[in-house]
Amino acid sequence: MDEESTTGAPAGLIRRLAALLYDLLLVVALAFVATFAMLPLTHGEAILPSTQGAFGYAYHAALLLIVFAYFGGSWTRSGQTLGLKAWRSRLETIDGRLVTWAGAAARFALGAAIVGISLLGAWYLARPGSALGHAGAAAMLGVAVVNCGWILFDAAGRSLQDVACGTRVVRAS
């Protein structure tokens, strides 16, 4: 099968996870740069709300805004983050158009919630506790597994996040 005939076909789970890994590396680098730029304001101290007060909250909000600007700007401008571009994939609406800023905000918020719940579950799972506590933590971690696993069972190859936001990730030329 040549590449032309696969353009527009759903991007598979491995391709999507690989693109997400690329984007994660870039987001971590952006966070490092933003943190480095703000450290002179705190004289090199950690930027935490408990030690920096309102500035700590503003810092965390700025990091969130930077990450959203990266994803939202990429999705609305070309449908491709650097990770999606490297793995020849594209995010689009169900009818093949670029995602709007409102759609990007909804997709980002839902993705951030899925990641947050899953990371919290992983953190609780790594701590000593009761079997019931570990079962709850595993269920929290399972949110990301179910979201990604849905790609394998959906006829259009969409995750639950895609279904909720009216988007899809397809192969690009």
Q: What digits encode the pLDDT tens for the residues 132-172? A: 888 988 899 899 999 999 999 999 999 999 999 999 999 99
User: Look-up: residue for tokens 């930027």?
Assistant: 47
Tell which wins on pLDDT, 137 or 91.
91
User: Look-up: residue for tokens 């701590």?
Assistant: 127
Question: At residue 126, does pLDDT exceed 90?
Answer: no
Amino acid at 169: V
Q: pLDDT at position 50, please? A: 76
Q: pLDDT at position 52, please? A: 76
Question: At residue 1, does pLDDT exceed 50?
Answer: no
Judging by beta carbons within 10 Å of its beta carbon (0-12, 13-18, 19+), is residue 81 exposed, middle or buried? Answer: buried
The structural domains of the chain, with segments of one domain joined by +, span 3-171
Judging by beta carbons within 10 Å of its beta carbon (0-12, 13-18, 19+), is residue 157 exposed, middle or buried? Answer: buried
What is the pLDDT averaged over residues 21-37?
94
Judging by beta carbons within 10 Å of its beta carbon (0-12, 13-18, 19+), is residue 168 exposed, middle or buried? Answer: buried
The helix/strand/coil state of 167 is strand
How many other β-carbons are positioned within 10 Å of the β-carbon of residue 104? 21
Q: pLDDT at position 2, please? A: 42
Cα-based torsion angle of the residue sequence 13, 127, 108, 11 in order, rounded to the nearest 10 degrees = 0
Question: At residue 58, does pLDDT exceed 60?
Answer: yes
The pTM for the full model equals: 0.86
Given pLDDT bands bounded at 50, 70 and 90, which one contains residue 3? very low
Q: What angle do CA 163, 113, 11 make, to 5 degrees?
A: 40
How many Å apart are CA 76 and CA 104, to the nearest integer?
7
